Structure 1
Amino acid sequence: MSRVVVTGRIPDAAIEKLRAEHDVDAWSESDSISRSELLSRVAGADAIVTLLTEQVDAELLDAAGPQLKVVANVAVGYDNVDVAACTARGVIATNTPGVLTEATADIAFSLILMATRRLGEGERLVRSGEAWKWGMFFLLGSGLQGKTLGVVGMGGIGQATARRARAFGMEIVYQSRSEIDPAIADELEARRVDLDELLAVSDVVSVHCPFTPDTHHLFGAAEFAAMKDSATLVNTARGPIVDEAALAVALRDGTIAGAGLDVYEREPRVEPDLLELDNVVLIPHLGSATVETRTAMAVLAAENALAVLSGETPPTPIRA
Structure 2
Amino acid sequence: MNKKAKIAVTRKLPATVETQLEELSDAKFNLDDTPYSEPQLIRAVSWADILIPTVTDQVNAKVINAAGPNLKLIANFGVGVNHIDLEAAEAKGIQVSNTPDVLTEDTADLAMGSFIMASRRFGECERMVRAGAWTG
Q: Deviations over 1:6-64 (max 9, x none)?
A: 11111232233233333211112243333332322331211101111111211221222
2:47 to 44, 64, 68: 44
Any stretches of 5+ residues in structure 1 without a counterpart?
A: 135-320
Name the SS for the 1:4 alignment partner: strand
Partner of 2:11: 8
Superposed, which structure 2 residues align to 1:87-166 within 5 Å?
A: 87-129=90-132, 131=133
The offset of 1:66, in angstroms, is 3.6
SS at match of 2:17: helix
Extract unaligned runs of 5+ from structure 2.
none
Secondary structure of residue in 1 paired with 2:47? coil
The DSSP-based 3-state class of the residue aligned with 1:20 is: helix
Q: Classify the secondary structure of the residue corresponding to 2:13.
A: coil
Q: 1:112 to 1:79 in 2, by over 3 A?
A: farther
How do residues 302-313 of structure 1 correspond to structure 2 at under 5 angstroms? none
Q: What SS does the corresponding residue of 2:108 show, helix, strand or coil?
A: helix
- For the pair 1:78 / 2:81, whether they are aligned, the reply is yes
Contact 1:42 1:48 in 2 (8 A): yes
- Secondary structure at the counterpart of residue 64 of structure 1: coil
**Aligned equivalents of 2:115, 2:135: Cα separation in 1:** 25
Equivalenced residue count is: 133
- Whole-angstrom CA distance in 2 between matches of 1:124 and 1:36: 44
Alignment-derived partner of residue 187 in structure 1: none
CA distance in 2, matches of 1:112, 1:85: 42
Using a 3 Å threshold, how does the CA distance of structure 1 residues 108 and 85 change in structure 2: closer, same or farther? farther
Identity percentage of aligned residues = 39
Cα separation, partners in 2 of 1:9 and 1:132, compared to 1, 3 Å = closer
Q: Which residue type is aligned with residue 62 of structure 1?
A: N
Which amino acid in the other structure matches residue 7 of structure 1? T
Q: CA deviation at 1:115?
A: 2.8
- Structure 1, residues 139-194: CA drift from partner, whole Å, max 9, x if none? xxxxxxxxxxxxxxxxxxxxxxxxxxxxxxxxxxxxxxxxxxxxxxxxxxxxxxxx
- State the partner residue of 2:26: 23
Give the corresponding residue for 1:62: 65
- Separation of aligned partners in 1, 2:87 and 2:113: 36
In 1, Cα distance between equivalents of 2:76 and 2:66 = 17
The 2-side partners of 1:32 and 1:80 are apart by: 13
Tell me if the contact between 2:44 and 2:51 (Cα under 8 Å) persists in the aligned partners. no
**TM, length-normalised to structure 2:** 0.81
Equivalent residues of 1:66, 1:89 under 8 A apart: no
Distance 1:77 1:113 in 2: 28
1:219-272 CA distance string (max 9 Å, x none): xxxxxxxxxxxxxxxxxxxxxxxxxxxxxxxxxxxxxxxxxxxxxxxxxxxxxx
Q: Distance in 1 between matches of 2:108 and 2:16?
A: 24
Secondary structure in structure 1 of the residue aligned to 2:78: coil
- Equivalent-residue separation in structure 1 for 2:80 and 2:121 (angstroms): 29
Q: Which amino acid aligns with 1:83?
A: L
* Amino acid in structure 1 at the alignment position of 2:20: K
